[in-house]
């Protein structure tokens, strides 16, 4: 526990994390001030929450008042490079993340899951296994429920399953999970990390920096950057691989997932019995299975959950079949690697909806997959021209000026036996509030066809 009694704390950002951490700080004795650069008309709900808690705030700017504090708490949406953050650090004001603050008040053991791709699916799956095993737990973090909003419900017997982003890890100090999971580290958010993979990888690696030798890290040994950063971990290593064997962890024996813990090999499930499709999801299943086995959950419960789990909303989510064409919503695919995994999950010809707010994407890594599997691309949003330039001459590319138009064009291009796939590789903020909003609109339009 960290004492905040009488301390003045500034919270930067009044989005989901900000309006969760502010009351937590106040309830623990701090004098709290929240500052958000967005105009008040875009923060109606957030302002209502802060007013209800009697918390002072400002909108539309970051005034000099933000620096009159002994601690600054950063919401994930505020970049470390923002002028207000740089200035706070210049003035020697400690800057921590909402994740860090919530961890100060957490009484239960933490399972923290990160990765460029698959962390929402894996976090949700771990939660489902715990639910089926009737183990007391909460699921929070980057998945959509701020850690700060649930930490007060956690006792020593409650497992805390957190999806953790690099943005949240950027400003930790003492955050220490009992089990940390790194699924993969592939190019993403390059605009936030100076287009330097080593900076992004270092941020991800912070998930285990406070772990000790009685903690555990579960990681993807097939992934180059993950394998590289884990070398500095002090925690016990548990590996998973689809490409080779492991001495402690999970691997494939033919088409069956096998775990080896304490020297004992156990076959878990053939991959064709999994409730979710795609080889990328085999990695996610392996990670979740290892977490469950480390906790001590029986194999029958794990197997049952793996068979019945159908994935998460906006992640290779089946929407409907119409006139022999299947429609899938993969709106959470906000980087190129996510799209690569999505394309590999289908054998059918694909009409791909691609584009949005570009984050420094290199689309060339998709060239061969697009050539082999994508019959047409509908280019979306701010990056439409970049998408068109990347794939002109490789497949048919059509531009759309709205999601409504994109769905109509895709329907025209698709024939029975095809898949229409929204897998944008980009952020959503050019046309939408977030990837959930984008996926919801896509699904509504598909259902109206």
Rounded Cα distance, 121 and 140, in Å? 13
Determine the pLDDT at residue 114. 97
The radius of gyration computed from the CA coordinates of the chain, to the nearest angstrom, equals 22
Beta strands in 107-235 (DSSP E): 110-114, 137-141, 159-163, 179-182, 216-220
In the block, residue with structure tokens 């290779």: 316
- Which tokens go with 366? 């998709």
Please give the domain boundaries of the chain with CATH numbers for all domains.
Answer: 8-93 (3.40.50.720), 100-308 (3.40.1190.10), 317-448 (3.90.190.20)
Q: What is the pLDDT of residue 1?
A: 63
CA neighbours within 13 Å on the CB side: how many for 110? 29
pLDDT in tens, 372-429: 999 999 999 999 999 999 999 999 999 999 999 999 999 999 999 999 999 999 999 9
Spatial separation of the C-alpha atoms in residues 211 and 250, rounded to whole Å: 22
What pTM was estimated for this model as a whole? 0.82
Task: State the pLDDT at residue 277.
Answer: 83
pLDDT digit of tens for each residue in the chain (449 aa)?
Answer: 678 999 999 999 999 999 999 999 999 999 999 999 999 999 999 999 999 999 999 999 999 999 999 999 999 889 888 999 999 999 999 999 999 999 999 999 999 999 988 999 999 999 999 999 999 999 999 998 999 999 999 999 999 999 999 989 999 999 999 999 999 998 766 667 667 889 999 999 999 999 999 999 999 999 999 999 999 999 999 999 999 999 999 999 999 999 999 899 999 999 999 999 888 899 999 999 999 999 999 999 999 999 999 888 998 999 999 999 999 999 999 989 889 989 998 999 999 999 999 988 999 999 999 999 999 999 999 999 999 999 999 999 999 999 999 999 999 999 999 999 999 999 999 999 999 999 999 999 999 99
Question: Could you report the per-residue pLDDT of 85-144, keeping only the tens digit for each?
Answer: 999 999 999 999 999 999 999 999 999 999 988 999 999 999 999 999 999 999 999 998
Q: Are 429 and 376 in contact (CB under 8 A)?
A: no
- 393-414 burial by CB neighbour count: b if 16+ within 10 A, else e? eebebbbbeebeebbebbbebb
**Which distant-in-sequence residues (6+ apart) come within 8 Å of 440 by Cβ?**
none
């Amino acid at each position: 526990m960290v004492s905040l009694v009488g301390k003045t704390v500034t919270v930067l950002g009044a989005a989901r994390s900000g309006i969760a951490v502010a009351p937590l700080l106040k309830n623990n004795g701090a004098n709290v001030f929240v500052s958000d650069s967005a105009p008040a008309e875009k923060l109606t709900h957030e302002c209502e929450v802060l007013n209800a808690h009697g918390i002072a705030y400002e909108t539309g700017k970051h005034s000099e008042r933000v620096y009159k504090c002994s601690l600054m708490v950063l919401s994930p949406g505020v970049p470390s490079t923002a002028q207000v953050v740089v200035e706070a650090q210049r003035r020697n004001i400690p800057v921590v993340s909402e994740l860090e603050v919530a961890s100060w008040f957490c009484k239960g053991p933490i399972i923290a899951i990160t990765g460029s791709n698959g962390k929402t699916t894996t976090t949700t799956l771990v939660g489902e296994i715990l639910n089926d095993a009737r183990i007391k737990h909460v699921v929070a973090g980057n998945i959509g429920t701020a850690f700060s909003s649930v930490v007060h419900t956690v006792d020593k017997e409650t497992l805390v399953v957190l999806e953790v982003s690099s943005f949240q890890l950027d400003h930790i100090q003492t955050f220490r999970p009992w089990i940390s999971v790194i699924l993969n580290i592939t190019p993403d958010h390059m605009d936030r990390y100076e287009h330097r993979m080593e900076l992004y990888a270092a941020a991800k690696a912070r998930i285990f920096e406070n772990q000790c030798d009685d903690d555990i890290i579960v990681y993807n040994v097939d992934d180059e950057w993950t394998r590289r950063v884990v070398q500095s971990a002090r925690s016990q290593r548990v590996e998973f691989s689809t490409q080779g064997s492991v001495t402690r962890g999970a691997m494939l024996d033919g088409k069956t997932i096998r775990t080896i813990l304490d020297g004992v090999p156990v076959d878990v499930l053939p991959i064709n019995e999994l409730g979710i499709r795609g080889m990328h999801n085999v990695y996610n299943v392996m990670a979740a299975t290892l977490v469950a086995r480390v906790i001590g959950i029986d194999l029958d419960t794990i197997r049952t959950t793996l068979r019945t789990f159908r994935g998460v909303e906006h992640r290779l989510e089946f929407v409907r079949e119409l006139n022999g064409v299947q429609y899938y919503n993969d709106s959470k695919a906000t980087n190129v690697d996510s799209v690569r995994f999505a394309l590999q999950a289908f054998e059918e010809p694909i009409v791909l909806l691609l584009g949005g707010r570009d984050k420094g994407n290199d689309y060339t890594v998709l060239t061969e997959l697009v050539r082999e599997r994508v019959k047409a691309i509908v280019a979306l949003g701010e990056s439409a021209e970049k998408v068109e330039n990347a794939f002109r001459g490789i497949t048919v590319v059509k531009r759309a000026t709205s999601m409504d138009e994109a769905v109509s064009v895709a329907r025209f291009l698709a024939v029975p036996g095809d898949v229409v796939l929204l897998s944008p590789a980009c952020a959503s903020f050019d046309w939408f509030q977030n990837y959930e909003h984008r996926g919801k609109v896509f699904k509504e339009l598909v259902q109206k066809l």
